[in-house]
Amino acid sequence: MLAHTNEKTHQCHLCEKRFARGGHLKTHIMTTHTDEKPHRCDVCEKRFSLASNLKRHMLKHTNEKQHQCQICEKRFSLGGNLKKHLLTHTNEKPYHCDICEKRFGHSGSLKRHMLSHTKQKPHRCDVCEKCFAQSGDLKAHMLIHTNEKKHQCYICDKKFLRGGNLKSHVMTHTDKKPYRCDVCEKRFAKSADFQRHMFTHTKEKPNGCDVCGKSFVRGDQLKAHMLTHANQKAKS
């Protein structure tokens, strides 16, 4: 009955957050307040707080992708990843920011966006001490120090730092464009290009300059803009 009444009787003694189920409280304490990771991968020895996280991780080693998108035929290891992917076709954005009302297709994207309001950058590079808001950005940054390009195109042998960049590159060898704009029906090979295109309809400029507040549609435009501030600083 608790699921229907939404009564939250289980309270965390550390942060006072409340939960409807004891199992959810247990998971919360394990993942948030402790460093305990009792579940270990026998293949790469990576450790996890939850058995379910280990189970999902194991799919990376087996490379089993049983969940297929009916629109573009892309396959996924996890059903949750397929659900997220489907939002790229529908352009549905159920998650919204309470501060600026910006909407997102994925809860993870909303969480990352919230860091732009707090300016929090908890992930630090041990080599150059540069800090990042997202762990994925730190991982990508670390490849700059190692210069390791382990993702190779099987068609032209070009190598990439990131697997995502390789996937985008492979699409350049094909004529497949699975992402379609519902407004003007223009099609795109990459979801990132599709999302950038959508900003031309919404006039949204999500990349804001922390120095002067000017906003841009694309991240590379913001980077180019930031150089103007760096040049001004160098001259002064």
Q: Give the C-alpha separation, 109 to 112, whole Å.
A: 5
pLDDT > 60? residue 74: yes
- Model pLDDT, residue 118: 76
Task: Let me know: does 229 contact 210? Beta carbons within 8 Å.
Answer: no
What is the DSSP secondary structure assignment for residue 44, as one 8-state letter? T
- Model pLDDT, residue 230: 75
β-pair partners for 187: 180
Query: Which class in CATH covers the domain with range 65-147?
Result: alpha beta
Q: What is the mean pLDDT of the chain?
A: 79
**Separation of CA 75 from chain center:** 18
19-55 residue pLDDT tens: 888 888 877 777 777 777 778 888 777 888 778 788 7
pLDDT > 70? residue 174: yes
The confidence band for 1, taking pLDDT boundaries of 50, 70 and 90, is: very low
- Model pLDDT, residue 63: 66
3 state DSSP class of 86: helix
What is the DSSP secondary structure assignment for residue 106, as one 8-state letter? S
Average of per-residue pLDDT across 198-220: 80
The model carries a pTM of: 0.30
Domain boundaries, the chain: 65-147
Q: Give the C-alpha separation, 132 to 126, whole Å.
A: 12
111-154 residue pLDDT tens: 878 877 877 788 888 888 888 877 778 887 887 777 777 788 88
- Model pLDDT, residue 2: 46
